[in-house]
Amino acid sequence: MRGFHFSNFQPDDLPKGGFDELLKLFTQLLNYTAGDAGEALAWMNELDKKYKFTNNEYGMGNFIDDLTEKGYLKENPANGDLSITAKTEQTIRKSALEEIFGRLKKAGRGNHNTNISGIGEEKNADRREFSFGDSLDQIDITASIQNAQINHGIANFTLTERDLEVEEKDYKTLTSTVLMIDISHSMILYGEDRITPAKKVAMALAELIKTRYPKDTLDIVVFGNDAWPISIKDLPYLQVGPYHTNTFAGLELAADLLRRRKTHNKQIFMITDGKPTCLKENGRYYKNSMGLDRKVINKTLNMAAQCKRLNIPITTFMIAQDPYLQQFVREFTQINGGRAFYSSLTGLGEYIFEDYIKNRRKTVR
């Protein structure tokens, strides 16, 4: 692969002015304000007072005018309130994808290994160093020669194994994924915002599938006291509610959505920070937030077993460290035959992206 290029270190500071820089900050703030443009702009004004990232040539008023003119904001004629547009929603998804997938790319090959031996059929955008066992037709000759010129110079041309660059290939499999997001009240308790990273990962995953794997499908299910599907365009506005955690309802809906998909690869990704605490029986809620309720847990485990019978593995991303919760997740995972990650909020995106790309390169039967 290519050699190293050194340059002066530039710290990642606040915006220094100009529309593009301010737009990045604006889209980040929209994640925290659940898509409320007015609140995000109010925060930007407060930050501007403190850090002075606008100037006499380009102020916040110019930025708001540009947002409207460029189609990022629209005004409600009735009351004058500003709201974001579909263009802004897509910009937020792209920003989340660049933030998460950019970190993943920098980490190198990682766990992008396939469980199927042999060479794939369909090229993808991944590149890596040559390793023993790779076939000659996987080598990108143009990129490899360019690497050799950069690493060794043109005058004394040398091509070594380290210069060889290999194109990754995918098998022509289609994957149907349901991403379950816990929106119970505990996702914002204890001074930690867990819902914002969760929905940012969901937006990035949606954009990845739409741009790189357009034949794959992604359904998004949120669950609190009940479970319901939401569309991709609803993600920036997602908020937690005064809800308990009805994991059973989320899994039941996810399995029902996947039954309708005519693909071999089906999987559920579940992002949660707590234990199941709620069921709905005969139109009434059965709730118990004190410990692990036997009735709630057993029904949830039965749903995990049913998903296994349907060949639907569940990958649980538990963003909590309580030992008794981890014990429940281990039992849940064992019954389903899936996987579990005990992830920090900062590592959540990399875990999900690695697992998604790895899973879509094999056929689950």
Residues with Cβ within 8 Å of 281's Cβ and at least 6 positions away in sequence, in order, are none
Q: Which long-range contacts (CB under 8 A, 24 or more apart) does 115-120 make?
A: 115/361, 115/362, 116/171, 116/361, 116/362, 116/363, 119/169, 120/168, 120/169, 120/170, 120/171, 120/361
| pLDDT value at residue 256 | 97
pLDDT digits (tens, 9 = 90+) for 275-325: 899 999 998 999 998 878 999 999 999 999 999 999 999 988 887 667 777
CA atoms within 13 A on the CB side of 335: 18
Residue 337: other Cβ atoms inside 10 A = 14
Average pLDDT for residues 154-181, to the nearest whole number? 81
Please state the domain extents for the chain. 19-84, 122-170, 175-361
CA 214 → CA 89, 98, 177, 208, distances in Å?
18, 18, 13, 9
| pLDDT value at residue 9 | 45
| pLDDT value at residue 221 | 97
Report the alpha-carbon angle 220-334-175, nearest 5.
35
pTM for the structure as a whole: 0.71
| pLDDT value at residue 101 | 65
- Asked if pLDDT for residue 89 goes beyond 50, the answer is yes
Average pLDDT for residues 336-363, to the nearest whole number? 73
| pLDDT value at residue 26 | 92
- Asked if pLDDT for residue 171 goes beyond 70, the answer is no
- Asked if pLDDT for residue 342 goes beyond 80, the answer is no
Higher-scoring residue by pLDDT: 155, 347 = 155
| pLDDT value at residue 57 | 86
> pLDDT exceeding 90 applies to what percent of the chain?
38
| pLDDT value at residue 318 | 82
CA 127 → CA 105, 165, 166, 180, distances in Å?
10, 7, 6, 31
pLDDT digits (tens, 9 = 90+) for 235-279: 999 999 989 999 999 999 999 999 999 888 899 999 888 789 999
- Asked if pLDDT for residue 16 goes beyond 70, the answer is no
- 114 band by pLDDT with thresholds 50, 70 and 90: very low
Higher-scoring residue by pLDDT: 348, 96 = 96
CATH class of the region 175-361: alpha beta
Average pLDDT for residues 152-157, to the nearest whole number? 80
| pLDDT value at residue 12 | 52
- Please tell me the least confidently modeled range out of 23-27, 67-71, 153-157: 153-157
State the sign of the Cα–Cα–Cα–Cα dihedral 353, 358, 363, 364.
Answer: negative
Average pLDDT for residues 129-144, to the nearest whole number? 80
Chain centre distance of CA 152: 39
Which residue has 């999987």 as its token pair?
267
> pLDDT exceeding 70 applies to what percent of the chain?
82
